[in-house]
Chain A
């Protein structure tokens, strides 16, 4: 559990990044953190990871004044891992294998356990230990570097994993692979905080949605509930997925499509069901004035 109380943060030079944020992350919770560029997302995430001390306010990690850090042995508090947006800054060893092994070695694990953890972590992120393990991390593509850095974090078996825009620069197959991995880590009980601009990427598995706007936490509620108000999401710079926008347009024209459905097939079924049931269209022109359903 991470508890943040009355968090405000001002950077040297006077830029106010956060204003009075209160937040409790429950164990194993999957959280999406959204908002426009400059809203304070990375600042809050780094404070939750214990990488940045807030100017005002207090954070407790499992009741302690600090997280345990990625290489702390079990029983010494909450291990929090952070994947930076520029993941290549997190790679430093001569080979990918050594890089991923760094954390488990710091934990003082025996050699064979380290080996098993490295292989497991590389497999989880979809990197072949044989093909990639011996290479310098700096010869990898951007997407591969991101995955190698993530493997290094996973090898330390964190309680909470915080990721800052992890899909930027990944191709669609890479995005899908990462989403599947996060889904799986969540099912296995890892706490996740994912900064993203794409609601579609997190709609399938995140339980809770946080939206920051100019340093204030303006949305903090179950994601399934928040997606029922696409207009409000758009107001905070969070683009609603096409499914929500279509539902919203159809509702504005009088067709009572259910709210908050983010899966295209589920929405199409719901629409077909309404039409098949012979839900009567109002006589004449359907719906309100043009443009009334835009946002």
Chain B
């Protein structure tokens, strides 16, 4: 059987230059990511989320610990993963290089020196995955924020990475843009089985992931399926400097009123069904 582990970090410590004293940005952080897994990462400002993204993508070095990708050890010195780990940042304005959608996506594969037919295949597949195929000839400056973020995703996907890291990809988008990006990630994760590390402040987005990691002071302080974690199974969410998403607070409020809301209920559909069942049962089932 093939090893399902894609990425493993063991006691990784990362300090920024000039800050040798004091708390490191990542403090003996350990985590494991399986192939095809969608893992969300949340934590307060300064908890190390963006540092984690940059260390995993090889953009900044780490000083201690071990990092493994695909069974291969990645040292801070020999860190040849840039084509295998894609990274999308939060600012939709700063990640576009091409004049048209298609040119932008082709930029990475062209720099790999791939044959034109392979570049075309990758561009087409990446654009289809993020839902921009119909806009391939559009000038990039005409795109909305959500479209630009999906374009940045397509650019990363055209490199055919094993892992796509998104660092607060929806922070600067309106609700429509947020939904577009989430839909693209869902499609990518389902169809292409690309592993996703999704860093976000919007905890409601983490409910779609397979697993949620909570970062605090450079360490993973809690991990598990998102809904029970955010419902407080491993401790009060507020103690991590976070606030449960509204649908989870609503589930908690209904539970406090005696409604039998299951622990994993994380959607309005689930809450609606719980209330309607209690109603049909003629009261609260108590």
Contacts and interface: CB of A to CB of B under 8 A. Distances in A.
Interface in B198-245: 201, 203, 241-243, 245
Interface in B42-83: 43-46
Contacts of A238: 175
Given A197-B174, A246-B272, A281-B282, A174 B45 contact: yes
A270 to B, nearest CB: 9
A172 interface: yes
B45 A237 contact: no
Contacts of A143: 45
B129 interface: no
B93 to A, nearest CB: 11
Contact of A275 (B44, B247, B284): B284
A172 B268 contact: no
Interface in B255-284: 256-259, 268, 271-272, 275-276, 278-280, 282-284
Contacts of A197: 174-175
B49 to A, nearest CB: 10
A14 to B, nearest CB: 14
Contacts of B283: 275-276, 278
A142 to B, nearest CB: 8
A36 B242 contact: no
Contacts of B284: 272, 275-276
A286 B144 CA distance: 41
Interface string A83-122: 0000000000000000000000000000000000000000
B250 A246 contact: yes
A278 B168 CA distance: 46
Contact of A286 (B245, B257, B279): B279
Given A38-B144, A249-B268, A242 B254 contact: no
Task: Give the size range of A's interface with the partner.
Answer: 35 or more
Contacts of A241: 246
A172 B201 contact: yes
A264 B43 CA distance: 23
B154 interface: no
A253 interface: yes
Interface in A183-205: 197, 200
B138 to A, nearest CB: 16
A231 B241 CA distance: 33
Contacts of A268: 250, 253-254, 256-257, 259
A76 interface: no
A37 B284 CA distance: 43
A36 B179 CA distance: 13
A37 B249 contact: no
B272 A249 contact: yes
Nearest to B284: A275
A250 B176 CA distance: 24
Contacts of B279: 255, 274-275, 279, 281, 286
A265 interface: yes
B45 A170 contact: yes
A141 B144 contact: no
Contacts of B246: 200, 241-243, 264
B184 interface: no
Given A36-B174, A287-B276, A278 B282 contact: yes
Contact of A267 (B43, B175, B250, B272): B250
A37 B44 contact: no
Interface string A125-166: 000000000000000011100000000000000000000000
A37 B145 contact: yes
B174 A237 contact: yes
Interface in A18-41: 36-38
B171 interface: yes
B172 interface: yes
A176 B238 CA distance: 11
B171 A168 contact: yes
A255 B272 CA distance: 10
Given A171-B241, A255-B276, 9 more contacts: A37-B174, A169-B168, A250-B272, A268-B256, A268-B259, A271-B275, A272-B257, A286-B276, A293-B272
19 contacts: A36-B174, A38-B144, A141-B46, A171-B242, A172-B44, A172-B201, A172-B203, A172-B242, A237-B176, A241-B246, A242-B245, A242-B246, A243-B246, A250-B275, A250-B276, A268-B253, A271-B259, A272-B258, A286-B280
8 closest residue pairs by CB, A with B: A268-B253, A272-B257, A172-B243, A239-B175, A264-B253, A242-B246, A171-B45, A171-B44
